[in-house]
Structure 1
Amino acid sequence: MVKPIDMSMVENALAGFTIPPQPEVLIRIKQEIELEDPDINTIAALINMDVGIAGFTLKVVNSAYFGLRRKISSIEHACKFLGLNRVIKLVSSVVLRFTLSGGSSDPFTLKLWNSAMNVGSAAMLIAQQLRLGSDCADDCYTLGLFHNAGMSLIHAQFPDYAKVLKVGLSQQLPFVSIEQRYFHTSHDTLGYLIAQSWGLAPEIGQVIAYHHNPEQVLLSTDLYEKRLFAILKLAEHLTGEEAALFDVKLELEWQQHGEALLDILELDEMQLPDLGDYLLQNGVENHFHR
């Protein structure tokens, strides 16, 4: 496991920011799922309380990843199809978007959530292709959606966030250095706090906290954390996250650590085009297919 989070760093990162708590609808869904005999219809009714959340849930269920021959048109059917264990992970991710975006439709917010969907889907598909199990695939999806959630909080206070990051990244400066210098916080630490507040698995929170500190994660003795991290970084690389968000294509982290990350997954560069084909077959555009 990577080293514990430095709480003084957390306190500094939090200055002026409020971490959104879990919304009431998500708390009630979790309470129902934890009952000895949870009622799928009650869960569906709770999801249907918010038209936006319900619609987005159906969009994800009907995505290419699940490969459904017939589209699902009701939340009740979606819950039965997914199963209770996956419902809470999916709905948590869906609710996060609506909670943090606050209905905003400015260009960077749209880019951020579209990129999160692409990275989450790619990460889930990579885990599936590597036969790491459905639990790992679900965790990868959640990680992909949540890993940049802290950016939304910074952008809400500093509308020039994307412009500042573009200039800094173009100068080959690290993410955290740019954010600390100009905004006195970092999206990875804020993302970790959101993950904690929302009750995500500890491994997911740890990877979010260190997802721009490859040196630290690569030293971890926890293989699951390292796999989650490697899959996240590979998904970022294959979907061109930096280019999509900031129009920067340098990918310094991948240049420096890509080989070590692929070693964790027992992959090599020669296998990536085939992996790109698999992502495209399942609806995810990537570095090899635009």
Structure 2
Amino acid sequence: MSLSITAAEKAILADLSIPPRPQVLLTITQETKKAEPNVAVIAEAIASDVGISGAVLQVVNSAAFRRLNEIKSIHQAVMTLGINRVFPIVKAVALKSAMPASKVLDAFWLEANLLAGCAAATAEELGYESAKDNAYMLGLFHQAGVPALLQAFPEYEKQLAEANNMGWAALAEYERREYGTSHATVAALIAQQWSLPKVMVEAIYYQHDSAGLFQGEELSASSLLMLAILKIARIVAYRKLGVSSEEEAWQDNYDGLLNFLNYEDQQLEDVLNAVAEAQSPA
């Protein structure tokens, strides 16, 4: 299933400031396309950006990744984890650095970090260890449209402040009425522009319109898995934050999730508890 963008929406999106990929990502992408990528070049490219490299080390050593031994350098991270695991994390942290700094977004980025950690833990608890890095990136990327909308529409700050009270799906509806697009659509386009995998772009695009998708055949099983990871991560994160507005969206998807995962209620409850526990300080 491809993204459905209206002509009016295309005109609006053309005026939004979607951040380009930073040079470090372009360098890594070019190197990984070679028959024999040079690991040293990739590590040096990441390390050349102090902000991104520091954030990458913080992530790979965080509770979400449950490492026994601390990784102390980018070169060690690339050699230990491999570029296929490090690159999604680089993309995730590069996104934040590419966005305009704003005190209005301080709480937003704290929530995004929690969501990313929950997504990584969810992938592990569901038995998809190899998807943890992409799940982390999905958790951080899926609301990337928010900073872009805030930059384009300063009055959006008032609605953003109420997002957790009104619910993010309700906020998306408000955005469509007022601006002709939504943070989910903008985030999906950013993900597409940053060359994220199609399954992640689809999960981001349908993050608030997923009711019924788990029972249908519109999306591939891989896209639905990423969407399932995102749904679980969101409900765990917002429950930890004491936000009740996401409960309705969770219930709308609950039965579909159970069927897709082939889980019983208690199995899913165990996953929720384990993901929540993974975010608690040791």
Q: Which amino acid aligns with 2:28?
A: I
Q: CA deviation at 1:7?
A: 4.3
Q: CA deviation at 1:50?
A: 1.4
Match of 1:52 in 2: 51
Residue ranges of structure 1 left out of the alignment (5+ in a row): none
Q: CA deviation at 1:281?
A: 4.7
Aligned ranges 1:15-94 → 2 under 5 Å: 15-94=14-93
User: In the alignment, does 2:260 pair up with 1:235?
Assistant: no
Moved more, 228-237 or 59-68: 59-68
Moved more, 153-162 or 13-22: 153-162
Match of 2:200 in 1: 204
User: In the alignment, does 2:111 pair up with 1:115?
Assistant: yes
Distance 1:16 1:171, change over 3 A: same
After superposition, what is the alpha-carbon deviation per residue over 1:124-169, rounded to whole angstroms, capped at 9, x for unaligned? Answer: 22222222351x3333222111100001111223345353145577
Give, in whole Å, the separation in 1 of the partners of 2:268 and 2:3: 33
Give, in whole Å, the separation in 2 of the partners of 1:114 and 1:167: 16
User: In the alignment, does 2:223 pair up with 1:225?
Assistant: yes
Q: Which amino acid aligns with 2:225?
A: R
Q: CA deviation at 1:268?
A: 4.0
Aligned ranges 1:245-260 → 2 under 5 Å: 248-251=243-246, 252-260=248-256
2:191 partner SS: helix
Contact 2:176/2:182, CA 8 A, preserved across alignment? yes
What is the Cα-based RMSD across aligned positions, in Å? 2.6
Identity %: 32
Match of 1:155 in 2: 150
After superposition, what is the alpha-carbon deviation per residue over 1:207-258, rounded to whole angstroms, capped at 9, x for unaligned? Answer: 21111111363332522211211210111001107x85xx852222113222
1:240 partner SS: helix
2:211 partner SS: helix
Residue ranges of structure 2 left out of the alignment (5+ in a row): none
Give, in whole Å, the separation in 2 of the partners of 1:17 and 1:63: 33
Give, in whole Å, the separation in 1 of the partners of 2:107 and 2:235: 16
Q: CA deviation at 1:10?
A: 4.0
User: In the alignment, does 2:266 pair up with 1:270?
Assistant: yes
Give, in whole Å, the separation in 2 of the partners of 1:274 and 1:169: 25
Contact 1:143/1:232, CA 8 A, preserved across alignment? yes
Contact 1:122/1:279, CA 8 A, preserved across alignment? yes
Contact 1:166/1:248, CA 8 A, preserved across alignment? no
Normalised by the length of structure 1, the TM-score is 0.84
Give, in whole Å, the separation in 2 of the partners of 1:171 and 1:279: 25
Give, in whole Å, the separation in 2 of the partners of 1:150 and 1:264: 28
Q: Which amino acid aligns with 2:29?
A: K
Aligned ranges 1:171-190 → 2 under 5 Å: 174-190=170-186
Give, in whole Å, the separation in 2 of the partners of 1:265 and 1:132: 12
Moved more, 71-80 or 146-155: 71-80
Normalised by the length of structure 2, the TM-score is 0.86
Q: State the 4+ residue runs in structure 1 displaced beyond 4 angstroms.
A: 165-173
Contact 1:12/1:185, CA 8 A, preserved across alignment? no
Give, in whole Å, the separation in 1 of the partners of 2:2 and 2:192: 16
Give, in whole Å, the separation in 1 of the partners of 2:80 and 2:158: 42
Give, in whole Å, the separation in 1 of the partners of 2:92 and 2:243: 27
